[in-house]
Amino acid sequence: MRWLTRLLERVRQLGYLQVTLKPAGTDADDGRVLHLFKNRAELKKSFSGAVEEVQHLKDRVKQQEGATARVQELMQELEARLANAETGYPALVFYQLRELWTRGRVLLQQFLTELESQQLDRERRQFFADFNRRQFARRQSAEQACLEATATAAGARTRVSELERRLATRQRFWHYFQRRQIAVQLHAATVQALLADQALSEARSARDAIEGEQGSFSGLSIDARRAINMATIAYAQVLYQRLESAKLSEHTQQAAAVSHPPADVYGDRAACVRLMDDIQRARVLLEQRRDVLAEIRVRADALRGIAKYRQPEDTLPDARSLGAGEPGVATRVLLDDTWDLTRALLR
């Protein structure tokens, strides 16, 4: 048994030596290796993302190069058309017609934006005036409630103090029954004082909450947006009739529908010159603002009488209802989406 004990002792010593002789800093090296592998994984992920971004940018460059090439082809084609007198004048007419049509859309957008800004400012001022009026009444009521609660709490505390003073002056043995009666009254008065203090705290919290409220204006009302849209539709009809009076409505619509100048549409050089003169007169007619507001108001009132809405919250009228009225009142500008009217109107 003695030799077995010595053998086990030797084994324990060898294990101790193995642990003791373990190279110093191995744990630190393991941590650095693990950190190195983590950094390597993050670098690979970043590199992969950079490669994808580079490929995406290359694709965008190719797309842009294709678009640039198409624009250059169009410019070369336009230069060739303008270099020839037979095709140059029709091209000039075409682009002037497109510009005339664009000018009508710009006038409509400016008109709508001005109306929206004016009505927005008007409704915002009205909202805050009503809000401040309501807040003033609520503040007055809350302040009155605070004053009443303060007076009630002060009275309750005075009652408690009085009962405590009376109780303190009745400490003789023959005051036993008086002390019992006063103690009951003091307990009830203390409860009332606590309730009064709580009511005062609630009144003050309600007053402070009212003071901290801020009005939040949610934007134009449905009626306002409907009115602005109807006025814009009426203005679109006015502009379209001015083009019709200049006998250019059909030409401008056709020019707006295509992107390239058509061939053999506007006639020879003399006809094109006359047409360009008509275009300049029509432009002046479109931008004429004299008495236009009165005309818009009359037309908008007439259209409002025949307009129908699919839903109570809709701000765009049914285009077919505007086109089905009596001659002189009905209009097809919304039904035909003249000047991209549907996209311009307020939702």
User: Residues 114, 252: one domain?
Assistant: yes
Q: What per-residue confidence (pLDDT) applies to 12?
A: 59
Q: Considering the domain boundaries, does residue 332 fall inside one?
A: yes
CB-based contact 335:323 (threshold 8 Å): yes
Residue 267: other Cβ atoms inside 10 A: 14
**pLDDT, tens only, 263-304:** 777 888 888 889 999 999 999 988 888 888 899 999 999 988
Find the domain containing 144 and state its range.
Answer: 132-212
Q: Considering the domain boundaries, does residue 108 fall inside one?
A: yes
Q: Considering the domain boundaries, does residue 10 fall inside one?
A: no
Question: Tokens 């084994």 sit at which residue?
Answer: 11
**Which of 155, 178, 212 is the C-terminal boundary of a domain?**
212
Q: Considering the domain boundaries, does residue 59 fall inside one?
A: no
Q: What per-residue confidence (pLDDT) applies to 78?
A: 67
Residue 3 has pLDDT above 80, yes or no: no
User: Residues 231, 333: one domain?
Assistant: yes
User: Residues 144, 228: one domain?
Assistant: no
User: Residues 303, 161: one domain?
Assistant: no
DSSP string for 187-235: HHHHHHHHHHHHHHHHHHHHHHHHHH---------HHHHHHHHHHHHHH
Residue 199 has pLDDT above 90, yes or no: no
pTM over 0.85: no
- Measured CA to CA, the distance from residue 133 to residue 157 in angstroms comes to 36
User: Residues 240, 335: one domain?
Assistant: yes
Q: pLDDT-derived band of residue 237, with 50, 70 and 90 as boundaries?
A: very high
**Which of 153, 181, 212 is the C-terminal boundary of a domain?**
212
**Which of 178, 212, 246 is the C-terminal boundary of a domain?**
212
**pLDDT, tens only, 58-114:** 888 888 888 888 777 777 766 666 667 677 888 888 889 999 999 999 999 999 999
User: Residues 114, 247: one domain?
Assistant: yes
User: Residues 295, 177: one domain?
Assistant: no
CB-based contact 344:239 (threshold 8 Å): no
DSSP string for 30-88: HHHHHHHHHHHHHHHHHHHHHHHHHHHHHHHHHHHHHHHHHHHHHHHHHHHHHHSHHHH
**pLDDT, tens only, 156-166:** 888 888 888 88
Structural domain total, the chain: 2
Residue 210: other Cβ atoms inside 10 A: 15
Q: Considering the domain boundaries, does residue 48 fall inside one?
A: no
User: Residues 155, 247: one domain?
Assistant: no
Q: Which residue has the higher pLDDT, 190 or 80?
A: 190
User: Residues 278, 337: one domain?
Assistant: yes
Q: Considering the domain boundaries, does residue 307 fall inside one?
A: yes
Chain mean pLDDT for the chain: 83
Q: Which residue has the higher pLDDT, 102 or 171?
A: 102
User: Residues 333, 227: one domain?
Assistant: yes
- Measured CA to CA, the distance from residue 103 to residue 99 in angstroms comes to 6
User: Residues 145, 96: one domain?
Assistant: no
Residue 215: other Cβ atoms inside 10 A: 12
Q: Considering the domain boundaries, does residue 178 fall inside one?
A: yes
Q: pLDDT-derived band of residue 8, with 50, 70 and 90 as boundaries?
A: low
pLDDT above 70 covers what percent of the chain? Answer: 88
Q: Considering the domain boundaries, does residue 141 fall inside one?
A: yes
User: Residues 176, 244: one domain?
Assistant: no
